[in-house]
Structure 1
């Protein structure tokens, strides 16, 4: 029992931190679960972890989400920008193609390649803002980029921030766009996972409750302090981290 609690804590920490940073949560969860053979890792726990992150981001942006009078345009744009990922993600999930990509070698290469792309995209000094520059064209372009996040190691946060930076948005608003796009993405992932669970598999126990609560806490803290960090610093720390992780994986593989 104690071992399961430790595993849930580690998985929640990884999910909460890596879901919203440009370092790929799916990659980290796959790597840790593969290397350490966690017994607590399951479809139900994965769903619980994503649900915790979803609740955290909704709670963090509750003012923007529920103030429909002032934010209706932005919320509609986020809705349309999520379509590409939802449609392609549903197809890949239902056909089983996603399982072909869930391996360490793919993660190593995508972690490295998209770190380099993020590095160059973050070099721009433009200052486009959500309030004035986010429109249907820009959100659809970011949404198309987001499809790449279905490949483990790409990072949904990383690729959406990269796309927004390429489109000349400042770092903070690029991150906010990424966070808002995570709501439909996490909701869709949770729904697809739940649809694959049978009634026998759905057992709301202490581990599930812990996964939701801890993932919520770590996700909320990450979002809050990432926005503070990115207001002062570049993405270089995350680029370096990704490159180091990829080199470690290359060493283990080759």
Structure 2
């Protein structure tokens, strides 16, 4: 049975960079995203460049029927998933109660429900096989409440907490669980979330997706529990853990509000 790394949200950004970093290390891949044409092109390129087997499956993870179909297709295949990378995710911004509920629900379905279901399905299979690895992608936003991005920050706090819990539960079954908590990264995320970094996007505070992916894969190889790329982000996480909670709330709210296109009243 062939072994594969399954990467969700693999058509762009950190997901694509993670897929490339894994292929570079000889991992066969199963790429999952909604954009069929993009996945087909990426799969062909990675297979040619790194001489690995690269498959792709289109799926809208927010749709329960599509997610069930994905799981069934993988269950019936002869592909053993020994690494699950839950990267798919999205963000929203602005005053929570003024946002369209459908978009906020979509965030919950992708960032939390789909991730949890994939962890449940493949974590169980890995435990039965006696080994495997899971990497869930959270964010430095997981370490603090984030006014003006309240739902997003809460979803990433869920990912962080679930990952740490599963790490302890599955340790004795030979399954390793890590969580990646990147800071601001040059991807389409900010545009999709309705944020504007302006000149900050070209500065050293924002990392490249490829750099984040390299650090993430090294962290996986070391079985690191929480992977925070970049010393600035690591320092930020430390400060958030040590500072009074009221101060963390105020500072994170001010930072998020500063990158909104139009500051709320």
TM-score by length of 2: 0.31
Which structure is higher in RCO with an 8 Å CA cutoff and minimum separation 6?
Answer: 1
TM-score by length of 1: 0.32
Greater strand proportion = 2
